[in-house]
Amino acid sequence: MAKMMTKAQLAGRLAEQAKISKSTATALLDEIASLAAKEAKNGFVIPGVGKVVLVNRKARMGRNPQTGQPIRIPAKRVVRIRPAKQLKDSLLGKK
């Protein structure tokens, strides 16, 4: 299995393609990440990749895997990334 691309590798690739410095590409990635964190409550779209959203999970019953005892899992908010149709089609192929 191939290794995941690191932030430095991604910045290097972006810098090469856009003909900008690696430090500028790194700053761009940092700005996108901070914008996504600030705007997730409203939904933040990265075109062609997906949408970052906050989702409320309901409380539910689960099991402790060691003892098998039922436990209550409390409600909480989680971050989800919904992949864009374009990304799904390019990875999985069209149906």
CATH 4.10.520.10 fits 40-95, yes or no: yes
| Alpha helices per DSSP H over the chain | 7-18, 22-39, 85-92
> pLDDT per residue over 7-47, tens digit each?
999 999 999 999 999 999 999 999 999 999 998 888 899 99
**In the chain, where the domains are located:** 1-39, 40-95
C-alpha to C-alpha distance for 71 and 62, rounded to whole angstroms: 5
Q: Are strands 50-57 and 76-83 parallel, antiparallel or unpaired?
A: antiparallel
CA atoms within 13 A of residue 13's CA, in its CB half-sphere: 7
Q: Are 62 and 70 in contact (CB under 8 A)?
A: yes
Rounded to two decimals, the pTM is 0.73
